[in-house]
Amino acid sequence: MKNQTHTLLKNVYGYDNFRPLQEEIINRTIDGKDSFVLMPTGGGKSICFQIPALVFDGITIVVSPLISLMKDQVQALKSNGIKADFFNSSISPQEENDVIGRAMNGELQLLYLSPEKLISVSNTWLRELNIKLVAIDEAHCVSMWGHDFRPEYTQLKVFRNSLPKVPFMALTATADKSARKDIEDQLGLTNSKLFISSFDRKNLSIEVRGQVPKQKKLQEIGNFIERRKEQSGIIYCLSRKNTEEVASHLKQRGHSVAFYHAGMNNEEREKTQTDFINDDTKIIVATIAFGMGIDKSNVRFVIHYNLPKNLEGYYQEIGRAGRDGLPSETILYYNMRDFVLYSQFADGGANSDMQKEKLNRMLQFAEAKSCRRKILLSYFGEHLTENCGNCDVCENPPKDFEGTVITQKALSGIARMKEKDGITMLINVLRGSNNADIHSKQYYNLKTYGIGKDVSFFDWRDYVIQMANQGLIEIMYSENSALKISPIGWAVLKGEKTIRLTTPLTSDDKKKKAKTIKATIGSEANKDLFTELKKIRYSIAKEENMPAYIIFNDKTLKLMASELPTTENEFLAISGVGMNKMEKYGDEFMSVIRKFKSVAKPRKVSTMQHTFNLYQEGFNASEIAEKRNLSITTVFSHLSQLYMEGKEVELEKLVDTKVIDKVRIAFNELDRKVALKPIYEKLNEEVSYGEIRLSITLILKNE
C-alpha cells in the first residue's frame, strides 16, 4: 500500500514526497477510520482525501460550503486526470442529471456537494451510490462557536449515522480546542484521530510598518509593486472607500489593479474575482470580504492597509499568499487611528469585551520588538524555540539601551501638563515647538518645555509608544487620547525603577533592506525563460478556460526554468508534473525550453560540468576541491546534483553507509525537512554538511 500511495502521489500529482502527516492520514483513511485534519491554508489538506479516493473502488463525497471554489478544485482534479465533478446550486437541471448519471454509473471518483444539496438528495439517488469515503471540508462551519457557522452543516450528523461503516474525514484550517470538540460532537465523529500540522508558514515573510502617514503609505505601496512587476497580490483595506482610493492611486501609476467590496453587485464581484484568478488583473484592493473562496496559489504578497481586527483574521489573510510554497511577502500597516476607531466600534456591540481584548492583542503584535512569528504562533498555541529569521524584527533586531532618563523626561512632561493632552502635544512641548496651541495653553512656561530637543519627532513618538507598551503610560481613548501615568510610570518618575528602550529603525536601515530585496529578485535563475513559460501557460489557460495556476503553479514553472527539462523523463522529474499533465502540456513547454537552450549563449563550461569532467577523469572529491579551489561541501553538492540529473556518479562510494543511517534517523526525526543545518546540529556537528547533503540525496532517491 505504501507503494501504491507513493506512486499515485508521483504519477498523478507529480510530487516526490508526502508532507508531514499526509501519509498517516491517508493510511488511516484507507483502513476505514475517521480523522480530524487541522492544517493551515495551503498545508495540503486536499491530498489527504483525494489519494484514498483514488485507491478506493467507489465514490468519495466531498462536502464544501464554498461553491465558487468547487469548480476550481474539480478542474484541478480533472487536469490531473481524475474523474471528479460537483453538484451545487450553480448548475442547470440538465447538468444535474448528467452528473447524477455519471455518479450512478460509477464513473466518478470524487463528487463535491454543497451541504444543502447533500441534504436534499441524501434520501434519493445518493443512497444508491457506492460511497467509500466522506470528506467534510471547512468543518468549522458546523460549530456555533466559530465565526462561520452554517446551519446546514448541523444536519450532516444524520448523514454520518446513515453510513456507519464509511470513514469520515473532517478538515479545517481554523478551530481552537473547544471548537474541535464541538465539531466532533456535531458530526458524530466518536472515534476520530486528530491530526494537527504546524501552522508555521515559513515561506511568508512578515513585516509591520507603523505610523506611516497616508500619502507616504500610498507612495510606499506603489514603489513596492513597481519592484515586483507581474506579481499577483492582495491589498486589504478597512473601508470600501479606501479600496477605491488605493486602487485608483495605483491605477494612475500604471498598475493592473481592481477593487472589490461588498457594495458591488454580484456580477461585478464575480468578474473581478475571475480576472484575478486568471491573472488578467494582478492586484486586488479589497475589504476582507475578498479571498474566502479563492484558491489561487501564486499570490506573491498580501498588504494590510489598516490594522486587522484580530490575529485570527490577520493570519488567515496573510495565509492567502504563497500557497505554492514559494517565498512571499506580507506587510502590515497600522496606526493608532485604526485602533481607536475599532475600539469605538466594538463599544457596546456584541461580545464587546472579547473583541477589544483581541484588538489589544493585535496591536501588541504590531508594536512588538521581538520575533513576530514567535508571537503569532504562540497565540495559536504553537511555540517556536528559535527566532524565525524571516520577519522584520529578526532582520533588524532592535538594539536596546538604558532609557530611564528619556522616559522620565516624557513622564514629567505628562505630569506637568496635568495628564490632559495627547501624544503630539507632549512631543511638541518636549521639543520646544512654537505653535498656537502651546501659546494658548502657555506651555512654554513649563519646566519640561524644550528638554527633548535633541530627539526627532518620530523617535519620540516611537519611544512614547514603547512606554505605553511597557505599561508606564495609559492612552485614554475615551478622553481624546490623553496620556495618563500608571503606577509603574510613577515609580519610574520617582527613580524607583529603571527602563530599557529600543532604538527606532533609521531610514538607512530601511534602505539597506530594500537593497537586499532587490538583490534577491535580480538573482533569480533564467528569469526570461520563466517569463516565457508563464506566457505559454497563460495562453493555454485562455484556450482551456481555466485558471493558469491549475495548469502548473509558479513553483513548478520555476523548477522548469532552472532544471531545463527537455526529455519526457526529465520533465516528469519536475515536482508538480504528473503523467496527465506531462502528456497534455509536456511538448508545448519543452519546446519553449529547447528554444531557450539553443538560443542561450553557450556558456563557458558550467561549474558543475567542470566538476563532472574532473570526476570522470578519476579525481576524488577532495582532489577536485583542491584543484578547483572550492570547498569540499560545494563539490559534494555538485556531485549530488549531477547524480540527481541522472549523470553517472557513484554517490554511494563517497559516503559511508553508517553515516547515511545516522542522517536518515535525524532527517526523519526532523519531519524530513530538507534543511542541512538542523540535521548538522542534531548530529552534534559530527557529520559534515557535504556528507549530509549526499546522504539526503541518496535517501530520497532510493525510497
Residues in contact with ligand ADP by the rule CB under 6 A: 15, 17-19, 22, 39, 41-47, 297, 323-324, 553
Shortest approach of Zn ion to residue 395 CB, angstroms? Answer: 8
Residues that bind Zn ion (CB under 5 A): 371, 373, 387-388, 391, 394
Contact between residue 330 and residue 373 where contact means Cβ atoms under 8 Å apart: no
Q: Whose Cβ is closer to ligand ADP: residue 46's or residue 355's?
A: 46
Contact between residue 575 and residue 610 where contact means Cβ atoms under 8 Å apart: no
Q: Whose Cβ is closer to Zn ion: residue 362's or residue 624's?
A: 362
Alpha helices in 173-239 (DSSP H): 177-187, 214-226
Q: Whose Cβ is closer to Zn ion: residue 311's or residue 394's?
A: 394
Shortest approach of Zn ion to residue 328 CB, angstroms? Answer: 16
Shortest approach of Zn ion to residue 370 CB, angstroms? Answer: 8
Q: Whose Cβ is closer to ligand ADP: residue 19's or residue 409's?
A: 19
Q: What is the residue whose three cell numbers read 474539480?
A: 74
Q: What is the residue whose three cell numbers read 442547470?
A: 92
The entry of Zn ion, ligand ADP, none that residue 14 binds, CB within 5 to 8 Å by partner kind:
none
The entry of ligand ADP, Zn ion, none that residue 44 binds, CB within 5 to 8 Å by partner kind:
ligand ADP
The entry of ligand ADP, Zn ion, none that residue 182 binds, CB within 5 to 8 Å by partner kind:
none
Q: Whose Cβ is closer to Zn ion: residue 335's or residue 390's?
A: 390
Q: Whose Cβ is closer to ligand ADP: residue 169's or residue 468's?
A: 169
Q: What is the C-alpha separation between 155 and 153, in angstroms, rounded?
A: 5
Shortest approach of ligand ADP to residue 205 CB, angstroms? Answer: 19
Q: Whose Cβ is closer to ligand ADP: residue 51's or residue 639's?
A: 51
* SS3 readout for 342-392: HHHHHCCCCCHHHHHHHHHHHHHHHHCCCCHHHHHHHHCCCCCCCCCCCEH
The entry of ligand ADP, Zn ion, none that residue 156 binds, CB within 5 to 8 Å by partner kind:
none
The entry of Zn ion, ligand ADP, none that residue 140 binds, CB within 5 to 8 Å by partner kind:
none
- 530-536-537 Cα angle (round to 5): 85
Shortest approach of ligand ADP to residue 52 CB, angstroms? Answer: 14
Q: In which element (H, E) is residue 559 found?
A: helix 554-563
Quick one: the chain helix, strand, coil %, rounded to 5? Answer: 55, 10, 35
Shortest approach of Zn ion to residue 24 CB, angstroms? Answer: 30
Q: Whose Cβ is closer to ligand ADP: residue 43's or residue 115's?
A: 43
Residue in 466, 465, 483, 461 with CA at minimum distance from that of residue 474: 483
Q: Whose Cβ is closer to ligand ADP: residue 553's or residue 697's?
A: 553
Q: What is the C-alpha separation between 12 and 600, in angstroms, rounded?
A: 32
The entry of ligand ADP, Zn ion, none that residue 371 binds, CB within 5 to 8 Å by partner kind:
Zn ion
Adjacent-strand bridge partners of 478: none
Q: Whose Cβ is closer to ligand ADP: residue 44's or residue 452's?
A: 44
Q: What is the residue whose three cell numbers read 521639543?
A: 431
Adjacent-strand bridge partners of 170: 36, 136
Q: Residue 382 corresponds to which cell in the numbers above?
A: 504553537
Q: What is the residue whose three cell numbers read 470580504?
A: 289
The entry of Zn ion, ligand ADP, none that residue 41 binds, CB within 5 to 8 Å by partner kind:
ligand ADP
CB-CB neighbours of 635 under 10 Å: 25
Shortest approach of ligand ADP to residue 187 CB, angstroms? Answer: 18
Question: Up-side HSE of residue 555: CA atoms within 13 Å toward CB?
Answer: 17
- DSSP code of residue 70: H
The entry of Zn ion, ligand ADP, none that residue 65 binds, CB within 5 to 8 Å by partner kind:
none
The entry of ligand ADP, Zn ion, none that residue 324 binds, CB within 5 to 8 Å by partner kind:
ligand ADP
The entry of Zn ion, ligand ADP, none that residue 391 binds, CB within 5 to 8 Å by partner kind:
Zn ion
Shortest approach of ligand ADP to residue 617 CB, angstroms? Answer: 38
Q: Whose Cβ is closer to ligand ADP: residue 225's or residue 294's?
A: 294
Shortest approach of ligand ADP to residue 553 CB, angstroms? Answer: 6
Q: What is the DSSP string of 263-294?
A: TS-HHHHHHHHHHHHTTSS-EEEE-TTTTTT-
Shortest approach of Zn ion to residue 509 CB, angstroms? Answer: 16
The entry of ligand ADP, Zn ion, none that residue 388 binds, CB within 5 to 8 Å by partner kind:
Zn ion
Q: What is the C-alpha separation between 519 and 526, in angstroms, rounded?
A: 15
> Which distant-in-sequence residues (6+ apart) come within 8 Å of 121 by Cβ?
87, 113
Shortest approach of Zn ion to residue 385 CB, angstroms? Answer: 12
Pairing of strands 400-402, 500-502: antiparallel
The entry of ligand ADP, Zn ion, none that residue 412 binds, CB within 5 to 8 Å by partner kind:
none
Residue in 55, 58, 10, 62 with CA at minimum distance from that of residue 29: 55
Q: Whose Cβ is closer to ligand ADP: residue 135's or residue 499's?
A: 135
Q: What is the C-alpha separation between 143 and 470, in angstroms, rounded?
A: 37
Shortest approach of ligand ADP to residue 102 CB, angstroms? Answer: 24
Shortest approach of ligand ADP to residue 207 CB, angstroms? Answer: 23
The entry of ligand ADP, Zn ion, none that residue 186 binds, CB within 5 to 8 Å by partner kind:
none
The entry of Zn ion, ligand ADP, none that residue 394 binds, CB within 5 to 8 Å by partner kind:
Zn ion
Shortest approach of ligand ADP to residue 80 CB, angstroms? Answer: 9
The one-letter amino acid at 115? P
Please return the burial class of 603, using the count of CB atoms within 10 Å of its CB with bins 0-12, 13-18 and 19+.
exposed
Q: Whose Cβ is closer to ligand ADP: residue 20's or residue 422's?
A: 20
Q: What is the C-alpha separation between 32 and 25, in angstroms, rounded?
A: 11
Residue in 476, 472, 466, 500 with CA at minimum distance from that of residue 488: 472
The one-letter amino acid at 623? E
Q: Residue 633 corresponds to which cell in the numbers above?
A: 561541501
> Which distant-in-sequence residues (6+ apart) come within 8 Å of 224 by Cβ?
301, 303, 331
Q: Whose Cβ is closer to ligand ADP: residue 49's or residue 643's?
A: 49
